[in-house]
A and B are shown apart, each in its own frame.
Chain A
């Protein structure tokens, strides 16, 4: 149970170089957060993830002061050539675009603009009030990344009980392309909360492919709200392999504002003991001829909990929309839980929208078949688990990146 948790508005005073307008915006959001408190299951968007309750169970105190970003050197990935952005406790620490034309890429500390809509999500209000770091990446017109960009999201050991609020922005100008891997490395032995607001803007014909993955299991509590805006013929793909955190809620809102946009959200998760992971999406089809594809696969072991809340909204003018949504869960233990809430809200009459959700346990017949070939129950089960998740992994076309993700999944499953 959290005792004496109070955020003082003096904390906002500590933020440097702040305009009066920005300060007012922050104070207003702080008031909104204070009025609402941490979100609980009474809020529809949080009905399966009672954040207040989870925080109370896991923290005795919370600290919103900023964390320093000193750290010892970490080993970079050697699995494939890559550029990188290095974040320490959410703070932009350094970057290296050695495979790229540097004048085509702008990277800076977070974007200070305050053009954000008021939110009903208390964690977003908290972020608007206190976030004072993050990164802003912008890619010039016509520039296509030659190598993948890894965002090392590194957490140090001195962030016990902290709530880290970060704000990121990624903007791809016309005809630009990037393939990113968001790789979270957590060296904290203590529990902490990371609360991120990320804004992604894809201009005409731009393509962004993102892959998120955690290095190992950890005691982090993550909430991330992604606000994406897609213009004509742009394509956004997010492949989520973020198993390992104690709590992770990814809330993705995608506005397809012009024709021929594509939005793909796929996930393959293996959740273990006490892990809680929610993917919530809202795909807003606001123009005609757009395409969205969602495929969520969860394997749940022990008392883990997986949630998928997926909403497809189709505006009246968004004719010829093609929207697909599927969630599947494989439950390995009777204590494991999967909740799925598909929602379709359609105001156009010439659209193709489908949704489906299934959950079940390991098929004993399949298991028997594999075992009659000499594999023991454990290895047969692992094989079925990997098979279950493989169609999402197969979306990765680059062989070395695919192997890297397969190895991470293998580590997760072998912990089984």
Chain B
């Protein structure tokens, strides 16, 4: 039996919306630090950092609560 490929979920930041309020960095401290101006910066340096399964609930909260509606989750099956 083969296991189906686990979809990989990534966080996309719409930088044109983000004002660096920092809520996502508090909910997802393992994914994001803050840069010199408070904007989220991916700890792994990825353009769209991957969300580990354990962080998925918090990632969904971050998407829902971002005051600038700048976050979205994207699935890719890589």
Does B bind A? no
